[in-house]
Structure 1
Amino acid sequence: MIQHTDYKEEAIHGRYITMDMLQQHCFPKLKNDTTIIGNSVKGIPIPAFAMGQGKKKILMWSQMHGNESTTTKAVWDMVNFLGSSHKASKTILESCTLMIVPILNPDGAKAYTRVNHNEVDLNRDAKNLSQPESVALRSLFQQFDPDFCFNLHDQRTLFSAGKADKPATVSFLSPASNVERNITPSREAAMKLIVSMNKRLQKIIPGQVGRFDDGFNDNCVGDSFQMEKIPTILFEAGHYQNDYEREKTREFIFYALVEALNTIAADKISDYSIDDYFSIPENDKLFFDIVINNPEVINPNIKAGERVGLRYKEVLNEGRIQFVPEVAEMGTLEGFYAHQVIEGADLLDFDNNPSKRAIRSILLSINE
């Protein structure tokens, strides 16, 4: 059985992953040459590289949003696996040719922002192609002429897998190619490929796989590539319990990527049913990072029976991401869940706990 720990790229970890880190630690290990597909707004080269020599062509790109780095880590774990002597890796490389863009938005990665240096969301620039990074990806798409596209992202901790008390640790989407959201042949193929990955993930994170909203937007890259009749899959790396650095989630994305490649290489996409795709629960926004019960113990201005829901703001500070809690919502918060629940009384003793002290300060700042 394939074990992620055998292939994990230890040189990159945590939430802050930049092109400089890849150039220092990862690209030198490649056996394959890189190709510069374009430059960022600030002039940083955007490299891509190919693996394999098979007829089935797969294009994948990560960190289109600069602050979504989990899939970049998983991609390098996958690269290590494909470079190994494992029988499955050899089969994949004989059947498939992969074209990989590890970081599409290097300026956003360095600044830890969703947008690029011009403050444009590259995933809303598929039609206008107003940014050099967008042009680079579109040009690569046209030149490589893929049979499949993997669009690799992160999603926030607020997402649940349906209405259950389960975080959407991994989510998928086969994007629509028109407003009617018709199930075209390319969309059907993407759905079936997602089912293969979901079956693998249910064995290790049961109930923690979600299905992303399929509202159509032709400015989104995935939708635009699906419009070109190329099966395209959106990957969303989400929250796993107590894993804010997303080191466990990278493991699950790794397994999903390997499963997808195995399914494509073995021509087994038709073995799966789109009915199973629609049985994956659709994402909902039901999680807070922290919920405070009985906060009136700390602040009597808060009404009894109300709870306070906090969500973290991710802040780049000296090369590390800090998770700063902020009030997101107050009320009974019925039907919502929390990654952590804290009783107000537990915040009375806070002197030796900076986290509790910060949360207590937030509660004291609330005026009803």
Structure 2
Amino acid sequence: MDFLALATKYLHPDLTGKYIHLNTITPVMNSFADQFEVKVIGQSVLQKEIYQVKIGSGKTKILIWSQMHGNEPTTTKGLFDFFNFLASDTELAHQIKSNYTLLCIPMLNPDGAFAYTRENANGIDLNRDAVAETQPEMQLLKRTYEQFKPDYCYNLHDQRTIFGTEGFNSPATISFLAPAFDAACQYNSTRMKAVEIIVAMVEVLESYLPHQIGRFDDAYNVNCTGDYFTTQQTPTILFEAGHYPNDYNRDESRKFVFIALVASFLRQNENVVVDNDLTKYLRIPQNNKCFFDIIYRNIKIIDNNVEKIINFAAQYREEVIAGKVKFRAVISKISDLDHYFGHVEYDCESLLFSSNGKPYPILGEEATFDLNNSIQFNNGLKII
């Protein structure tokens, strides 16, 4: 099966870019109401509707939620692409719907999604509220969990462009984690069920993303939703959608979320754990903070009348302007950068730096400058 062609075919055209909020998804969600059960199940801090989409009638129950961090929309787009596929008349779609019952909360944090913030309207990270349960959104998720009694949980997120795969100079385009259930990060039967599904997804994805699949840090924190549900003996899988080359709007990355979702339902014997699954899981390269958006190498500066050759890096800050996410390249590190990679890199060949009369870069300022008073860089990128 050509999974990438399938992902491209069912990519929902009404959800693009990085600013995905309640007003964006509601008409799309309602378009599925004649095939799936779509209903409001609660409200956010600011009284915004939180929806549930129920699909299928199978024995195995999966609880899926996305965008509990409001500025992490890629998995939401991938989830709607998956809805689009399940609404089709294909044999595989019918098979999934007959074997599984899916209960999906496509946007747990609508306030954060509109404000384009990680936290909810009270400034709380919902993914650290699993035990305290102080926020209405987390109360709703846990109530849904207790009523539905899922066999598995899928916790869908985005990760920053800083992550690569350990041992490779490749971005971590998608990463997974079977969350720990104790501080020793041991593997019990519950965690191993999550490991099995992750291995199945990676086996499908690796032909499309060589060296671009990561394993997320499993440091235990029971306040995190995935760790909490694992301690409740429900296998939980963390999905982290990351950077794909030249895809800052993540309309390519979403395809790999879709592929992962489809692949996760292809293995039917959920309770059978293959002996070498843990070995395969631990071979997935760990996420490594080894990337910047842009790196400039071999820049000449003048510091106290002394010429020096330096390297520096810029990272994009994301801001919503006129209903779209804009990317502003900000100088974020000045050092040798020997162990870092840039999604874009420039060898500046010892040319002299200048920015608004300043002879050296300054942390926190926009990466707009020129070299030798002739080669210009605007918002991080070279003007050609």
TM-score with structure 2 setting the length: 0.88
Q: Which residue, out of 55, 80, 95, partners 2:99?
A: 95
Partner deviation per Cα, 1:276-320 (whole Å, 9 max, x = no partner): 000001111000100011222xx4339633200111111111111
Answering whether residue 14 of structure 2 is matched by residue 11 of structure 1, we say: yes
Matched, 1:29 2:32: yes
The equivalent residue for 1:136 is 140
C-alpha separation in 2, matches of 1:360 and 1:258? 37
Among 38, 44, 52, the alignment partner of 1:40 is: 44
More deviation, 54-63/77-86: 77-86
What is the aligned-residue RMSD (CA, Å)? 2.0
- Are the structure 2 counterparts of residues 183 and 266 from structure 1 closer, same or farther at C-alpha, using a change threshold of 3 Å? closer
Deviation at 1:67, TM superposition (A): 0.2
CA distances 1:131-164 after superposition (whole Å, capped 9, x unpaired): 0000000000001100000000000000011131
Structure 1 gap ranges (5+): 362-368
Q: Aligned runs of 1:221-260 on 2, under 5 Å?
A: 221-260=225-264
2:74 equivalent in structure 1? 70
SS in 1 for 2:318: strand
Q: Structure 2 stretches of 5 or more lacking a match?
A: 352-368
Cα gap change, 1:133 to 1:294, in 2 (>3 Å) = same
Deviations 1:203-222 (A, max 9, x none): 10111000000000010000
Q: Distance between the aligned counterparts of 1:14 and 1:352, measured in 2?
A: 31
Measure how far apart 1:5 and its partner are. 1.8
Partners of 1:340 and 1:262 in 2: how far apart? 37
Shift of 1:34: 1.9
> 1:63 touches 1:105 (CA, 8 Å); kept in 2?
yes
Query: What is the distance in 2 between the residues matched to 1:313 and 1:336?
Result: 19
Query: Which residue identity lines up with residue 300 of structure 1 in the other structure?
Result: I
Question: For this pair of structures, how many residues does the alignment match?
Answer: 356
Query: 1 CA distance for matches of 2:189 and 2:373?
Result: 58
Matches of 2:199 and 2:209, distance apart in 1:
15
Cα 1:52–1:107, aligned 2, differ >3 Å: closer, same or farther?
same
Report SS of the residue matched to 2:245. coil
Corresponding residue number in structure 2 for 1:53:
57
**1:293–1:342 CA contact under 8 A, matched in 2:** yes
Q: Does 1:275 align with 2:279?
A: yes
CA deviations over 1:29-72 (Å, ceiling 9, x no partner): 33223232211000001010110000000000000000000000
Aligned residue type for 2:137? E
Q: Distance between the aligned counterparts of 1:174 and 1:72, measured in 2?
A: 20
Give the equivalent residue in structure 2 for 1:357: 378
Q: SS at 1:295's partner residue?
A: strand
CA gap of 1:118–1:196, structure 2 versus 1, over 3 A, is: same
The verdict on how the C-alpha distance between 1:104 and 1:303 changes in structure 2, with shifts beyond 3 A counting, is farther
Deviation at 1:250, TM superposition (A): 0.3
Q: Could you report, residue by residue, the CA deviation over 1:108-136 in whole angstroms, capped at 9, with x for unpaired residues?
A: 00000000000000000000110000000
Distance in 2 of aligned mates of 1:42 and 1:351: 51
Counterpart-to-counterpart distance in 1, 2:184 and 2:28: 45
| DSSP-derived class of the 2:79 partner | helix
Determine helix, strand or coil for the equivalent of 1:294.
strand
Percent identical pairs in the alignment equals: 38
Aligned mates of 1:303, 1:71 — CA distance in 2: 47
Aligned partners of 2:232 and 2:209: how far apart in 1?
Answer: 33
Q: Compare the two structures and name the one with the higher helix fraction.
A: 1
Q: Aligned residue for 2:371? A: 348
* 1:42/1:86 CA distance change after superposition, 3 Å: same
Q: CA deviation at 1:360?
A: 8.8
Corresponding residue number in structure 2 for 1:111? 115
CA distance in 1, matches of 2:142, 2:293: 37
Q: Secondary structure at the match of 1:190?
A: helix
Answering whether residue 340 of structure 2 is matched by residue 336 of structure 1, we say: yes
In terms of mean alpha carbon deviation, does 19-28 or 181-190 score higher?
Answer: 19-28
Measure the CA separation in 1 of the matches of 2:374 and 2:103.
Answer: 53
User: Is contact 1:11-1:26 (8 Å) kept?
Assistant: no
CA change 1:68–1:190 in 2 (3 A) is same
Deviates more, 1:64-73 or 1:324-333: 324-333
What's the offset of the Cα at 1:258? 0.3
Deviates more, 1:269-278 or 1:177-186: 269-278
Q: CA deviation at 1:266?
A: 5.2
Q: Which one is further off, 343-352 or 4-13?
A: 343-352
Kindly indicate whether the alpha-carbon contact (under 8 Å) linking 1:193 and 1:269 is maintained by their aligned counterparts in 2: no
* 1:365 alignment counterpart: none
* Structure 1 match to 2:302: 300
* Counterpart residue number, 1:173: 177
CA positional deviation for 1:232:
0.1
Give the strand-richer structure, 1 or 2: 2
Corresponding residue SS for 2:264:
helix
Residue range with higher mean Cα deviation, 1-10 or 237-246? 1-10
Q: C-alpha distance in 2, partners of 1:125/1:295?
A: 45
Report the Cα distance in structure 1 between the residues aligned to 2:73 and 2:330, rounded to whole angstroms: 22
**Contact (CA 8 Å) 1:351, 1:357: kept in 2 or not?**
no
